[in-house]
Every structure is written in C-alpha cells, then in structure tokens.
Amino acid sequence: MRLATWNVNSIRARVDRVTDWLSRADVDVLAMQETKCNDEQFPTMPFAALGYEVVHCGFSQWNGVAIASRVGIDDVTVGFDGQPTWSDKPDIEAAAEARALGATCGGVRVWSLYIPNGRFVDSPHYRYKLEWLAALRKTSNAWLTDDPRAQIALVGDWNIAPTDDDVWSVEAYRDSTHVTPPERAAFDAIVDTGFADVVRPFTPGPGVFTYWDYTRLAFQKRRGMRIDFVLGSPAFAERVTHAEIVREERKGKGASDHAPVLVELTG
C-alpha cells in the first residue's frame, strides 16, 4: 500500500498536477490539505476517472481537507472529538474549521490534518493552534488507549518545524511561529503518545524540506522548512518499508508550495 499526503494549495488550480502524479506514483491513498473550496466545488471527476473515491471537508475558500482512495473509504469522520472552534470576529460565533477529516482506507485509519498556522506569536490564532494540538493529542492518545494495535496515520501539514534542522535558517525564523518551544512541545507530545515520524528515518536532515515559499527564489536556493509529516501508530509504523519527500513535484509551472510526502507499507 502506498499512502501520501500533500498540501495542494488549491485543488481546483492543481487538479491536473495532482492526478497526473497519482498516476505516475501509483498511490493508493492521498490525503490533501488546503483544498480551498467547499464540498460542491471539489473536482471529483478527474479522481473518479482514475478509480479513486474522494471524501472532502471544505466550508469556504479557506483551509479544506480531503482523502482520495482506490482501496476503499469507510467510517468517514469530519473533525475529531474535542476539536477547537475559531472565530476572529467578536460578533460571529466560533465554529469548527475544515482542518481534520478521518477515513478508514485499506484497513488504515487515515487522518488528513491541516493544523492552524498560528499567524504570529502570542496572537489569538497562535493560542488557538496550541489548543488545537492539545486536543488532537488528547483524542489520538485515547484512540491508542482503546486499541493499542490500531493502524492510524496522522498525516498532513502540521505547520511546525520540530527541530532546528527542519528550517533552512534558525535565525530567519527566530521570532516566527512554527519553531517556538510551545509549538515544538505540542508536536513532541503527540509523538510521545506513541505516534512515530515514519518518514524521517528514510529522509534524514538537515536541509530536507517539504515546503518552500514562492518568493525570493526560496525553492531554488533551498530555503525551506520540513512541516509536512506522517505520524504513525505503532502498528502502522512497523509496516513502513520506505518513505520519501517527492521534491520534484515542487518544480515547474503551477506547482504547490509543498511537496508530497509518500510512504510504502508492507502487506
């Protein structure tokens, strides 16, 4: 089984690139983030033509998560227990954002996750990000407590660079989100519950990134961040035989600013 995650940065703008890569890479399950459309706008037909079922959670032109699978999609869940809500306008009631979508595909419980960005340190959105991660840790820990042999993959754009090796310049990000101790501690807390970074052993750093800004030739100058991850439960992690960051897909016209992250499972 081949499972991948990709922040596509607008699926309607990049559906041809995404489906072309799916065909070439022989991917069975693809989790997508930042689809930037509502459910009715998602371009399902190109995926269906390749034999993929698709589930999507999108409420507007912001955020959005999806899962495409050719090995079945069962038990679809929008959001996880305890997922925080958000509103940046006092007169509008807070609501859950389109940031978490779960489905069972080929026996693996796949969660496509788009963790909040945080915007800037100590902003309300930064605090919301930490609350969101704490809630995910609590709920994912409960999943493993209930079934220690469950095959679970928490995949997506985490908007956190867990170590200094995961940014091209520590100094460049010193006063920014993504690298603060509370964010890194929140990421580590999920790992400590039993979810392993199954990609890093196959793609050791430093300088191994999944995201490069569009400006200032960041990709060409290798000025990136590693912020996209596949965190696997113990039963999932023991099945991983190969993993890679598909850097080539960041190249060329119309590319997302993220590269796909791919893992292969035995059995």
Which residues are marked as active site?
Answer: 114, 157, 258
Contact 21, 262 (CB under 8 A): no
- Which among 83, 45, 90, 91 is positioned nearest to 63, based on CA atoms? 83
Distance CA 175, CA 18 (A): 34
Does the annotation list 157 as a binding residue? yes
Does the annotation list 258 as a binding residue? yes
Torsion sign across C-alpha atoms 144, 66, 158, 264: positive
Q: How many Cα atoms occupy the beta-carbon half-sphere of 68 within 13 Å?
A: 29
State residue 250 phi and psi, 5-degree precision: -85, -10
Distance CA 164, CA 133 (A): 20
Contact 242, 260 (CB under 8 A): no
Does the annotation list 159 as a binding residue? yes
**CA torsion, ordered 101, 122, 228, 84, to nearest 10 deg:** -10
Q: List the binding residues.
A: 7, 34, 157, 159, 257-258
Q: Which residues are annotated as a binding site for Mg(2+)?
A: 7, 34, 157, 159, 257-258
